[in-house]
Amino acid sequence: MPDKLEDIAPFDLVVFGGTGDLAHRKLLPALYHREQDNLIPEGARIIAVSRRPFSDEQYRDWARENLKEHLSEPCDHILERFLNRICYVSVNVRENLGWQDLSAKLAGFENRTRAFYLSVSPDFFGPICAALGEHNLVTENCRVTIEKPIGKSGTTARLLNETIGAVFKEDQIFRIDHYLGKETVQNLMALRFANVLFEPLWNAAHIDHIQISVAETLGVEGRGGYYDTAGAMRDMVQNHLLQLLCLVAMEPPESMAADSVRDEKLKVLKALKPLDPASVETNTVRGQYRSGASSEGGAVKSYLDDLGAKSSQTETFVAAKLEIANWRWAGVPFYMRTGKRLAKRVSEIVIQFRQLPHSIFPATAGQLASNKLVIRLQPDEGVKMQVMIKAPGPGNMRLKEVPLDMSFAEAFQVRNPDAYERLLGDIIRGNQTLFMRRDEVEAAWNWVDPILEQWASDPRPPRGYTAGTWGPSSSIALIERDGRTWHDDENECC
Ligand code: NAP
């Protein structure tokens, strides 16, 4: 059911890190769009919190300027209506200052939905939650949202979960993974569970293998300080890629209720076959970009130069082969890859079906390609099914592979909402279906931790790859030694 204004009661959304990169690039534009769609009720307030000493007016000026930069055609009167809901409070978390001001701002509004969004360094998650508890700002109808990364390992994630759990109940904690808010990711569930067509084929008997690729063309872009402490495994695989894998591989949940979906995702994570040190060597590849060319052709610097460092063991690329040890997926490899400064910006899931058991067609008809379902998350969200048809025209039977292609932008002439719009709406409504539960996060670390430990004990640096390529050649070898290749749209027939 689409969001309806009358279903949303006035709320207070408190955004810690209101002057940060995520707030100005994603959160404020997403909230503006909700305003534009008339989905923010009269009286709802957005309270931006950061360290710098802004007045409400100064913050609104700052926000206005940033929104004009990030929105394509903002409407002046909607923008002003939106800005008028925003006020600003200065809190210095490190110095423990400003909490009284925040308490005063929230006083008298205890009965409405109160949502805290922690868009700040993860080091502040614990201290902010503790301070919210100490100042009695956690109400019955309250929620807290935290951004990735949730911990740097299973141990630190558990500690963080416990610290937050001491103040908020699990059904008040929204661990955001914005990939889950993408239209196509939700469409993956619709495709699987709203059609009779796919589910009978969705298993080892019919699927040869699955690929999940999240490729970026950008480098670390001024976020090198954070990135160098994380790397691609912690920044992308532990959360986004494993979450996508869960949605592809999970059993049909009982319903779309948050815990039904999350129970099924958890079973997938628990069934991931752990990699011992020898299989880390054979089943994973870590790389780091060297200088090269951007996707537009200009020269780009190496990771080390971007970072301004002489050396770093941090991986900017990961490829891995995973196995899910259960009845549905036994023997079906899942190949994943993600990296920065790759050849093309693309995120997609590829379901490669098995070959036909027997061909009735003569050799002159041409080669039979197996069916393939490609679910594109970005840049052009859509679904494509590769099928075999008879090539048109007289003469002998000739077979041709063609795509049944559906681009969502073309199919629906509506604006494609950003994932944060959907997720912010869910936070206000209290719907946790698209948010990670504590046990999921910890189960994902259980698979990731041994790999990180093995890499940390290996003195060899990550394999270098030239910026603007598809990563180290060993990532190509990882899949090709199984007689398979990474999907590349440009090599597909049309
Ligand atoms: P950022 O640009 O570095 O912003 C940090 C924010 O924290 C600023 O608003 C800053 O306020 C505030 N801050 C710093 N020290 C503070 C203190 N002592 N007390 C109170 N506030 C303080 O960070 P970001 O990139 O927006 O990231 C925010 C969170 O989102 C992080 O957890 C990050 O890992 C996660 N995340 C970010 C992205 C992204 O694309 N940026 C993507 C995914 C996840 P002042 O400006 O007043 O100093």
The DSSP letter of residue 329 is T
Q: How far is the CA of 22 from the centre of ligand 1 (A)?
A: 7
Q: How far is the CA of 273 from the centre of ligand 1 (A)?
A: 35
Residues 237 and 357 in one domain: yes
Does residue 431 sit within a domain?
Answer: no
Residues 101 and 30 in one domain: yes
Q: What is the domain range of residue 293?
A: 180-418+439-491
Residues 269 and 394 in one domain: yes
pLDDT of amino acid 460: 95
Whether 240 is a known active-site residue: answer: yes
Does residue 35 sit within a domain?
Answer: yes
- Cross-strand pairs, 88: 48
Residues 62 and 207 in one domain: no
Q: What percent of the chain has pLDDT over 90?
A: 85
Residues 116 and 196 in one domain: no
165-177 pLDDT, tens per residue?
999 999 999 999 9
User: Which of 194, 262, 186 minimizes the C-alpha distance to 423?
Assistant: 186
Does residue 293 sit within a domain?
Answer: yes
Does residue 158 sit within a domain?
Answer: no
Lowest mean pLDDT among 28-32, 247-251, 378-382, 441-445: 378-382
Residue from 121, 220, 418 to probe ligand 1 pocket by mutation (most atoms less than 8 Å from CB): 121
**Choice among 178, 240, 358, 487 that is catalytic:** 240
Residues 207 and 253 in one domain: yes
User: Which of 178, 124, 73, 75 minimizes the C-alpha distance to 436?
Assistant: 178
Q: How far is the CA of 118 from the centre of ligand 1 (A)?
A: 8
409-464 pLDDT, tens per residue?
677 777 778 899 999 999 999 999 999 999 999 999 999 999 999 999 999 999 99
Residues 222 and 295 in one domain: yes
CA angle centred on 326, ends 150 and 235, rounded to 5°: 20
3-state SS, residue 278: helix
Whether the per-residue pLDDT at 493 is higher than 60: the answer is no
Q: How confident is the model at residue 382 (pLDDT cuts 50, 70, 90)?
A: confident
Contact present, 148 and 390 (Cβ < 8 Å): no
Cα separation, 212 vs 179, whole angstroms:
13
User: Of the candidates 147, 162, 194, which is a domain's last residue?
Assistant: 147
The DSSP letter of residue 237 is I
The two structure tokens encoding residue 101: 């001001």
pLDDT of amino acid 2: 56
Average pLDDT over residues 463-480: 97
Residues 102 and 224 in one domain: no
Q: How far is the CA of 23 from the centre of ligand 1 (A)?
A: 8
Cα separation, 88 vs 62, whole angstroms:
11
3-state SS, residue 262: helix
Count up the domains in the chain and report the number. 2
The protein residue with its alpha carbon nearest to ligand 1, atom 35, reads 147
Cα separation, 116 vs 13, whole angstroms:
6
Cα separation, 197 vs 192, whole angstroms:
8
Within 6 A (CB) of ligand 1 lie 17-23, 50-52, 91-94, 119-122, 147-148
Q: What percent of the chain has pLDDT over 70?
A: 98
- CA-94 nearest atom, ligand 1: 18
* DSSP percent split of the chain into helix, strand, coil, nearest 5: 40, 20, 40
The two structure tokens encoding residue 46: 């957005």
Residues 192 and 94 in one domain: no
- CA-226 nearest atom, ligand 1: 34
Strand pairing class (207-215; 346-353): antiparallel
Contact present, 228 and 314 (Cβ < 8 Å): yes
Cα separation, 26 vs 180, whole angstroms:
15
User: Which of 12, 2, 75 minimizes the C-alpha distance to 40?
Assistant: 12
The protein residue with its alpha carbon nearest to ligand 1, atom 4, reads 20
pLDDT of amino acid 240: 96
User: Which of 205, 203, 325, 210 minimizes the C-alpha distance to 252?
Assistant: 203
Q: Which helix (H) or strand (E) holds 246?
A: helix 242-249
In whole numbers, what is the pLDDT of the chain averaged over residues?
Answer: 94
Cα separation, 207 vs 389, whole angstroms:
20
Residues 184 and 117 in one domain: no
304-338 pLDDT, tens per residue?
999 999 999 999 999 999 999 999 999 999 999 99
User: Of the candidates 98, 126, 147, which is a domain's last residue?
Assistant: 147
Q: How far is the CA of 43 from the centre of ligand 1 (A)?
A: 27
Whether the per-residue pLDDT at 407 is higher than 80: the answer is no
pLDDT of amino acid 478: 98
- CA-178 nearest atom, ligand 1: 43
The protein residue with its alpha carbon nearest to ligand 1, atom 14, reads 51
pTM above 0.75, yes or no: yes
3-state SS, residue 447: helix
Residues 131 and 253 in one domain: no
- CA-26 nearest atom, ligand 1: 40
- CA-146 nearest atom, ligand 1: 32
Q: How far is the CA of 16 from the centre of ligand 1 (A)?
A: 8
The protein residue with its alpha carbon nearest to ligand 1, atom 3, reads 20
Measured torsion, CA atoms of residues 492, 417, 59, 10, in degrees rounded to the nearest 10: -160
pLDDT of amino acid 76: 93
CATH number of the structural domain spanning residue 487 = 3.30.360.10
pLDDT of amino acid 491: 62
Q: How confident is the model at residue 494 (pLDDT cuts 50, 70, 90)?
A: very low
Residue found under tokens 């050396």 = 311
Does residue 159 sit within a domain?
Answer: no
Does residue 161 sit within a domain?
Answer: no
Does residue 382 sit within a domain?
Answer: yes
Read off the amino acid at residue 409: A
Does residue 432 sit within a domain?
Answer: no
Can you list the alpha helix ranges (DSSP code H) found in 15-85?
21-22, 28-36, 56-70, 76-83
What are the DSSP calls for 160-229, one per residue?
HHHHHHTTS-GGGEEEE-GGGGSHHHHHHHHHHHS-TTTGGG-STTTEEEEEEEEE-----TT-HHHHHH
Residues 75 and 224 in one domain: no
CATH number of the structural domain spanning residue 50 = 3.40.50.720
Contact present, 78 and 32 (Cβ < 8 Å): yes
